[in-house]
Each structure stands twice: as C-alpha cells, then as structure tokens.
Structure 1
Amino acid sequence: MQALKPATKPSKQRKRLYQAPDHIRYKLMAAPLSPELKASHGVRSLPVRSGDTVRVMRGDHKGFEGKITRVDRKNYRIYVEGLTREKVDGTTIFASIHPSKVMITKLNLDDKWRKKVLERKRSERLKREKIVEKTPKKVLEVKEEVAEEKLVEEKPKRRKKAPVKKPRAKKAKKETEKEKEKKPKKRKRTTKKRTTRKTKSKGGT
C-alpha cells in the first residue's frame, strides 16, 4: 500500500504530508533495523516507538546512541535521551531528529501487538521469497513441455517441386523494307496560324 499519493508540485506534497491521517503518519515514522535484528526477525524496517534504542547515522550527532523518550507524529520527529543542544540564550533543550536518520539497535517488545506485527511481516516476506524461488523453475518446465509438443506436432516437410519453365512467346517478325513501302504514308497535319482581326473602337481610334 502506498503511504501518500504521488504529486509533482512541492506545495501539494507538503500539503498531503502534513494533512495525512494518523495511520499513514505511523508508517512514515519507520526506521531501518540493525543487521543483527534483520537476521533474527527477518524484517528490514519498523515504525519507531518510545523505549526503542537507536543510533544516529547521519547529521551533526552521528554515532550517538540512546533510548527514544518521545515520538512527535505531528512534526515527524523523535527525541533521544541525552541528545541535547544549546540555544542562543544558553539554555539546553532536547534535539529533534527525523526517524529516517536513525537505525534501531534494540526493539521495545513490551506491546503484544508489536510482536504480532513482526510475525506477520516475517511470514509475508518468507512467502514472497518462496514465490520468487519457485517461479523460474515452473517457467522452465512449461517451456520444455511446449517445445516437446511442437516437436510431436511438426510433420516432415515435403520437398518443393522445381518450377516448370514456360515456353517463351515467339517474337514478332521485323517488318521488311518492302512491306514498309507498300503501306500508305500518313499525312502530317499542319496547323494554320490564327489571325486576329483588330476591332476598331467606336471613337475612331
């Protein structure tokens, strides 16, 4: 399922992002799992929750690791324990990070519904992998069967007979000089030049 509808205008993209319903915001707050968690659970990414341990992969705080204290779905940001920054007046506040910039190193599995989501995702992925593995073999078997059927159906082709040459039509004899003399000569038509008469105008000119 696609989280957001495709749009070409940046204004429409922002509008759809910040007017998205809660179930779509939940999907957009996903972060990738560490290689160890991927191998154990068989899932590539999962929406972040408070209590998950994450590692910052990009930005000024790259390499920082800590627990998520708060998830802000309204602004698409998360807050990590111990990750702070100083304001201009000197006060320290928690620094917000986008979930795409972190990697989950430890999952909070206190919620039974989250465990069910992990199991469902894993089973779906295994099904997809099985389908991908099976399809090439089936295609090859079908191709072999079709080739065998064609060989059975095909009959030995008969040799084509050589085309029979038709006798050429006899050329008309050339007219002799005597025959040409006997024939009456055709008169040439002469075209007389038309003479145009000048008409005098009434004025006498």
Structure 2
Amino acid sequence: MVRIASSQPRKQRKARYNASLHARGKFLNAPLSKELREKYHTRRAVRVVVGDTVKVLRGDNRGDEGVVDGVNTDNGTLLVHGVSVTKVDGSEVPRPVYASAVQIVKLNLDDKLRASRLEGKN
C-alpha cells in the first residue's frame, strides 16, 4: 500500500497515480460478504480477480450482482457483467466500478494458490 505522511488530497492522488504495479494491486481489494468472512476467518478483504461474483454497494447500480469481466489496474476499476450505461445513440457500454464500491459474494477459486492462501495454508 502506498503510505505517505501528508493528508493533502493532491499528494494522496499523486501517490496513487505514481504507484508501482504491485502496489496498484492493493487498490483492487474488496470486502468479503458475511458468509465468506465466516468461512475464511483470516481475511476481511481480498483482491478482486476475473470470475469473482460481486455485488455493487454504491452508485446507480447499487444492489446489482454480476461476474467480474475485467480488471483495470491502471485506474483501479472493475468491469462487472450487467453493470452498464446507455449512450446517447442507444448502445450500452460497460460502466467501470471501483473495487471499494463492491462486495465479493462468490470467489473464483480456479487458482489453487489463491484458495490455499484464503484458507491460511501455505
């Protein structure tokens, strides 16, 4: 995580924009649902990956659930299936959602390393 002493918003933003790639991954953490938190006692939030099912907690699409179709580490946003905005010409485009504005409802455990880390086994 990017840690800086200043509380000035411009310096906070600059630190996020200039963060290294491994630090940007931490901006993509989202809280787990209550059921998942009870199952995985060691974690409260995990990094969102493609294939996770999330529930939108903020914005116009609050309450919508969908599978994560894409993850953008450059600006820390997710593309959630079903969350879209209608353009003036009538076409629908996916609306990016910040990872902090979603809650993970179902995890994609295809990656065995991710599964073992969640259960606390090394």
Per the normalisation by structure 2, the TM-score is 0.90
Please tell me the residue identity of whatever aligns with 1:79: L
SS of 1:80's partner is: strand
Structure 2: state its 5+ residue gaps: none
For the residue of structure 2 that corresponds to 1:28, the secondary structure is helix
SS at match of 1:6: coil
Structure 1 residue 14 displacement after superposition: 1.1
Q: Which position in structure 2 is the counterpart of 1:30? A: 29
Q: Percent identity?
A: 41
**For 1:130-184, what per-residue CA distance to the aligned partner results, in whole angstroms no more than 9, with x for missing partners?**
xxxxxxxxxxxxxxxxxxxxxxxxxxxxxxxxxxxxxxxxxxxxxxxxxxxxxxx
Cα offset, 1:58, TM superposition: 1.6
What is the root-mean-square deviation of aligned Cα atoms in Å? Answer: 1.7
Residue 47 of structure 1: aligned partner: 47
Distance of 1:76 and 1:14 partners within structure 2: 13
Please state whether the residue corresponding to 1:75 is helix, strand or coil: coil
Higher helix residue share: 1
Query: Which residue identity does 2:8 align to in structure 1?
Result: K
Higher strand proportion: 2
Aligned to 2:84: 84
Q: How many residues align?
A: 121
Partner Cα separation in structure 1 for residue 5 and residue 51 of structure 2: 33
Per the alignment, residue 6 of structure 2 pairs with: 7
- The structural deviation recorded for 1:114 is 0.9
User: Cα gap change, 1:70/1:52 in structure 2, threshold over 3 Å: closer, same or farther?
Assistant: same
Q: What's the TM-score once normalised by structure 1's chain length?
A: 0.55
Report matched runs for 1:1-205 at 5 Å. Answer: 2-42=1-41, 43-120=43-120
Q: Retained in 1: the 8 A contact 2:2–2:19?
A: no
C-alpha distance in 2, partners of 1:45/1:106? 13
CA distances 1:39-93 after superposition (whole Å, capped 9, x unpaired): 0111211010000000011211011001000001101110011211111232210
* Structure 1: tracts of 5 or more residues without a match: 124-205
Q: Which amino acid aligns with 2:25?
A: Y
Larger radius of gyration: 1
